[in-house]
Amino acid sequence: MTITETLIPGVLIFDPKVFNDDRGYFFESYSKKVFNDAGIDADFVQDNQSLSQKNTIRGLHAQAPPYAQGKLVRVLQGAVLDVAVDVRKGSPTYGRHVSVELTAKNHRQLWIPPGCVHGFLTLVDDTIFAYKVSGGLYNKASEIGLAWNDPELAIGWGIAEKDAILSAKDQELPGLSSFNSPFIYTR
């Protein structure tokens, strides 16, 4: 498995070694040893999966401490533009983002540590998105997030606002300037 660091400390891209033959393919999608060797001691507590149509944006979401979660995300079918934004106070990359295309064909995964909000845009219909979460179990009262289209974040989603499909909750999220992050950078 190849691990690539991004401009945000702790956000890592995982490219598994895929073994193809006439039957199809095989790859190791998670290895605790690989994670530990990369400095990640994650205790995964839940797996989640969603199905979305093209132009759906889910996010940007996180959970506040003590229910903060790390996420290992991937696409089982289809394709997404996946985005992580650093919201750790004191971080040299506070308010900056990383975006990575994850597809069922490239098998790429993204690790988003606690302290980052996360979201994705589906690029094709019937996209199945799956992720493992570490840390706390889901807690509705701990939900936090940022507006996907906040000009201060300047995320190049590649979609017109009028074409984006969002939940009512995601349409109400604040921008970075009015966001009071509960996370502190400790690296």
Helix (H, G, I), strand (E, B) or coil at 137: coil
pLDDT digits (tens, 9 = 90+) for 88-108: 999 999 999 999 999 999 999
Q: Which domains does the chain have, with CATH numbers?
A: 2-184 (2.60.120.10)
In terms of Cβ atoms closer than 10 Å to its own Cβ (0-12, 13-18, 19+), residue 51 is middle
| Mean pLDDT value across the chain | 97
Which residue's structure tokens are 């199809």?
24
- Contact predicate 176/154, CB 8 Å: no
pLDDT digits (tens, 9 = 90+) for 107-125: 999 999 999 999 999 999 9
Q: Which of 30, 61, 94, 185 is catalytic?
A: 61
Can you list the positions of beta strands (E) in the chain? Answer: 2-5, 12-15, 19-21, 24-26, 44-52, 57-63, 69-77, 79-86, 88-89, 97-103, 109-112, 116-122, 127-135, 143-145, 183-184
From the list 64, 69, 61, the residue with the least C-alpha distance to 43 is: 69
Rounded Cα gap, residues 3 and 81, in angstroms: 19
* pTM, two decimal places: 0.95
Q: For residue 187, is pLDDT > 80?
A: no
pLDDT digits (tens, 9 = 90+) for 35-73: 999 999 999 999 999 999 999 999 999 999 999 999 999
Q: Which of 30, 67, 131, 185 is catalytic?
A: 131
Respond yes or no: is residue 61 known to be catalytic: yes
